[in-house]
Amino acid sequence: MLEHRRANLALIALSVSTFTYITTEVLPVGLLTLMADDLHRSRSQVGLLMTGYAVVVVLMSLPLARVTRRIPRRLLLGVTLGVFSAATLVSALAPGYEVLLAARLVVGLSQALFWSIVASTATSLFPPSRRGRTVARMSLGAALAPVLGVPLGTWIGQQAGWRVAFLVMALVGVATCAMVVAFLPKVAPEADSASRGATPSLRRYVILMLCTAIGVTGAMTAQTYVTPYLLDVTGFAASSLGPVLLLTGSAGFLGAAVVGRFLDGYPWFALLVPWILIAASLTLLYSLGTLKFVAVAALAFIGFGYSAMAAAVQNRILLVAPGSTDIGSAGGSSAFNVGIATGSFLGGAIIDHAGVRAVALAGAIITAAAVLLLLAEPRLARDRSQRDHAEPDRLQRDHAEPDRLQRDHTEPDGPQPNDPQLGRAEPGRAEPGRPQPDGPQRDRPSPTAPSPTARSATAPSPTAPSPTAPSPTAHSPMARGATAQSPDDRRPRVERRPDLRRASPRRPCGRR
């Protein structure tokens, strides 16, 4: 990790760079009329400066992240901000609409790469335990742009011309580039823990991208047309719009500051709660939007939730990205811009057919769909994980089953060869479950049996059975083997170790 003071300065530089990019991206909205009159173009043509910008970000984020993944972060961010400053300067000096459009597309190209690497670069400056708070602090610049950057840029454009506003942003870009190069370390992109997801999961990442695209679509369906909504539905005067929008932007800055307290400990809930807040606020705006205080409160909650959601999404990407976090962040940037473009288009179509009030209802429904998908994410990811863990267990059981069956088939009943109780039948009692042959049995010499002389000297009397020789009614397995086998004895048997005891001669039953 860097020395604490230098790391904080580098984080401030990155936060200022997010402020610069967001302000420059949205600035044409406030200067739309001035730019259209000066360039002798229609408002829709000037609107393409933002549409084309978003399309470039969507299409080029992933390819640029892949191509530049091995370039050191300080060099890459320095070049990116340098390209931004140069293209913004060209925008300010553009002699015509075509040059301005080309310059804006180049700015969008640099932003596509910037958002792919800025979050992982910021988190690499601090320990992993502070990842969430670092992302939230970096996001403060982006949250401050609608509050301070866009209104200030619009005011400069109205006072001195739109070209001066773009020139100021180019100078801010140069200063930011110098700060980044001065404070960022020379670290290779694969040399820190932030270059890979902490708990990578492809399924969770895909669900996160879908939730982001759907949720941003819902939010932007209404947010893009908040000005006509406040004028036509709520009944605000045009002079009151500035303070209302300033309050909404301030709530967004507060949301980015508050969510940082929960990103490290509760990353999933820190993402779920903002989406629920946005959906509920849009529903409230549709139901009671004619009441001014309700409309202002709903818009403030939407701004709070949107900024908190943006920081939570970026933090979640750094956790579940299945590969490089740069590529994961590029996917997140694309998802955001898909939602912005789709929401703006959908909101315009709804206004044409159902009126401006309907955009709040449509936005609430679409955002609720993102909430439902996010609620299902733990179950979907857990089901896949359980199947992955259960597959080796099932294969192990399948392999163990034939061994168990073979062991059950070959294991003999009764005492085993190594059983110490083998052959210790009580004298005078037959073995249970065995047929008793009639007549005397033939002796079979044992390897340990004594000689006939010794045997005759130590032979027990007929009335006192010896513990080393079975009684006349006890039959050893070797003695039974000399007689004709019964049907039960003809069954295949597992070979047993022979009984080493010597069987005594049998006498006819009932005789002495």
How is 70-117 classified by DSSP, letter by letter? TS-HHHHHHHHHHHHHHHHHHHHH-SSHHHHHHHHHHHHHHHHHHHHH
Q: Per residue in 286-329, pLDDT tens?
A: 999 999 999 999 999 999 999 999 999 999 999 999 888 888 89
Looking at residue 261, what DSSP letter applies? T
Confidence of residue 468 (pLDDT cuts 50, 70, 90): very low
| pLDDT one-digit tens code per residue, 379-403 | 888 755 445 444 444 545 555 555 5
pLDDT of residue 245: 82
- Give the least confident one: 21-35, 261-275, 287-301, 490-504: 490-504
Angstrom distance (rounded) from CA 203 to CA 390: 18
CA distance 196 to 325: 5
Are 428 and 469 within 8 A, CB to CB? no
**8 Å CB contact between 64 and 108:** no
- Cβ atoms of 422 and 478 within 8 Å: the answer is no
What is the rounded distance in angstroms from the CA atom of residue 183 to the CA atom of residue 363?
Answer: 42
Residue with the larger pLDDT of the pair 198 and 262: 262
CA dihedral 308, 309, 312, 314 (to 10 degrees): -120
Phi/psi for 111 (5° steps) reads -70, -35
- Band (pLDDT 50/70/90 cuts) for residue 18 is very high
> What average pLDDT does the segment 74-79 reach?
93
Domains 1-191 and 196-379 belong to one CATH topology: yes
Residue 98: per-residue pLDDT: 92
Instruction: For 156, list phi and psi in degrees, rounded to 5.
Output: -60, -40
Over residues 154-166, mean pLDDT: 91
* Each residue's pLDDT tens digit, 109-150: 999 999 999 998 999 888 888 889 999 999 999 999 988 888
Q: How confident is the model at residue 176 (pLDDT cuts 50, 70, 90)?
A: very high
Q: Is the pLDDT of residue 169 over 60?
A: yes
Distance CA 177, CA 170 (A): 11
3-state secondary structure of 236: coil
Share of the chain above pLDDT 70, in %: 72
Report the chain's mean pLDDT, rounded to a whole number.
79
Q: Over the stretch 190-229, which tens digit does the pLDDT of each residue have? A: 555 556 777 889 999 999 999 999 999 999 999 888 888 9
Contact 318, 131 (CB under 8 A): yes
Region label for 511, one of left (φ > 0), alpha (ψ between -120 and 50) or beta (otherwise): beta
Q: Which of 1-5, 381-385, 467-471 has the highest mean pLDDT?
A: 1-5
pLDDT band at 158 (very low <50, low <70, confident <90, very high): confident
Residues 6+ apart with CB under 8 A from 380: 203, 207
Other beta carbons within 10 Å of 180: 23
Q: How many CA atoms lie within 13 A of 279 on its CB side?
A: 16
10 Å Cβ neighbour count for 151?
Answer: 17
Residue 282 has pLDDT above 50, yes or no: yes
Which amino acid belongs to residue 241? L
Q: What is the separation, in whole angstroms, between the first and last Cα of the chain? A: 102
The pTM assigned to this predicted structure is 0.69
CB atoms within 10 A of CB 128: 15
pLDDT digits (tens, 9 = 90+) for 400-429: 555 555 555 555 555 555 544 444 444 444
Distance between CA atoms of residues 308 and 252, nearest Å: 7
Instruction: Enter the tokens of residue 180.
Output: 């980044």
pLDDT of res. 185:
84
pLDDT band, residue 496 (cuts 50/70/90): low
In whole angstroms, what is the distance from residue 259 CA to residue 256 CA? 6
What pLDDT sits at residue 167? Answer: 96
pLDDT above 90 coverage of the chain, percent: 42
Q: Which CATH class is domain 196-379?
A: mainly alpha
**Could you tell me the residue ranges of all domains in the chain?**
1-191, 196-379
Over residues 331-356, the pLDDT tens digits come to 999 999 899 889 888 988 898 888 88
Please count the CA atoms within 13 angstroms of the CA of 489 that sit on its side-chain side.
Answer: 13
pLDDT digits (tens, 9 = 90+) for 228-243: 899 889 988 877 887 8
Q: Pseudo-torsion of CA 162, 164, 167, 169, nearest 10°?
A: -70
Other Cβ atoms within 10 Å of 44 Cβ, number:
9
Beta bridge partners of 196: 324
Tokens for 483? 């007689």
What are the φ/ψ torsions at residue 411 (nearest 5 degrees)?
-75, 120
Dihedrals φ, ψ of 324, to 5°? Answer: -70, 135
| Other Cβ atoms closer than 10 A to 346 | 19
> Is 451 a residue whose pLDDT tops 90?
no
**What CATH code would you report for 1-191?**
1.20.1250.20
Q: What is the DSSP letter of 484?
A: P
